[in-house]
Structure 1
Amino acid sequence: MNRIRIAALAGLLLLAAGCSAPPEEAEDGYQVYYSALEDRYAQQALASEPYGSAPPEEPIPDLVAALLDGPDSPGLTSPFPDGVRLLGWELADGVLHLDLSEQYGGLSGVNLTVADACLTLTLCQVEGVDAVYVTVEGREIPYRPVQALTPEELFLSDGRDAPASVTLPFWYPRADGTGLAAETRELAAGDTLLQDVLTSWADGPSGQELKAALPQGAEVRSVTLEDGLCTVDLSQAFLDGLPADSGQARLAVYALVNTLAGVEGVEQVQLLVEGAALGQPLSPDQSLAAPNQAP
Structure 2
Amino acid sequence: MKKFGFLFSLFFLALILSSCRFFNQGEPDSDSSISQSSSEESRVSSSSAESSATSSSQEAASSSSSTAEEPESLTLAAYFPDTANKHYIYEGEGNEFASYDVYTDYAKDNRKQIRKNNGGTEEVMVIELEKDQIKTRLSRGEAYSRENWLDQEPGEEEGTEVLLKAPLKEGTTWPAIGERTRTITGINVSVETPMGTYETVEVTTEGSEDKVVDYYAPDIGLVKTVFTSDDYNVTSTLSQIETDVPLIQTVRFYYPNADGEMLSYVDKELAFKTNDVTKKAIELAYKESPNESVGKVLSDNTTILSLYLNTDGRVYVDFSKELISEMNAGSAYETLILQSIVNTIGGYYYMNEVYLTVEGQPYSTGHIQKEEGESFTVNTENSSELQ
TM-score with structure 2 setting the length: 0.38
Q: Report the structure, 1 or 2, having the larger helix content.
A: 1
